[in-house]
Structure 1
C-alpha cells in the first residue's frame, strides 16, 4: 500500500504509543501526554500505511522566524522507504519563509540530517533538563 501523508493532530494514545515504542523512545511510555502534546505542536505531519501510523514529524515555532523540529520518527518496519526524508521536506516547505529551522539530532543521525540540508553548529551544544531516558 502507498504511504499517505496528513496534517492531522488528533491521534489515539495507542497509535502514538506504538510508534514511539517502535523506535524505543521513552516518551512512548506516556501516550496520554503525547496525545495532548501533538495537539499543541504548531505543525505535525504524519505518514500512514492505511490506518497504521508509520511516522511523524512535529515542530514548534514563533510564528515568523524560528521553528524547532522536536520529533521525527519512523517505525523501523518502514525504514528505507524515504518516509523520514519526505517528512523533513514537508517541514522545510512549511517553514520556507522562516530564518531558522532547528533540530537536535542524535549523533548517529547526523548524516541523515546533513543530507536533508541541516548543518551542525561548531559553537553550540544542546542542553536538557529531562526525566526521559532516551
Structure 2
C-alpha cells in the first residue's frame, strides 16, 4: 500500500474527512517537493495527516507518496494514531528482540518497542 493510500485511509478511518473542505486545511502549504503530480483532493488528505503529525516525511522535503509503507513506518503510524508517541519519546535505548531488529532504523525503534509493549505488534 502506498503512503498516499495510507494517508487517505487514515483520514477516512479516523473520521477526519470533514476537514477536507476546511479553509485552514485547504490553504495550508506543504513543504514537500515531490507532490507535483497529485490532485488537489490528494494534497488535502496529505495536509490533514501532516497537520496532525501522523505522517511527516522523513527528510522534511519529500513525502514519497507512491512509495510503499514499510513495516517500520506502519508501526510508527500505529503508535501516533493510538496516542503512544510520548511513551516512545521517553525511550532512550530501545530493546528489541526481533530477528531483524538491526534493520529497524534508530528513529523508529522506540515506536516499535512501544507498539510491542502495548501488544500491538
- Provide TM-score, normalisation by structure 1: 0.27
Work out which of the two has the higher radius of gyration on C-alpha atoms and give 1 or 2. 2
Which structure is higher in RCO with an 8 Å CA cutoff and minimum separation 6? 2
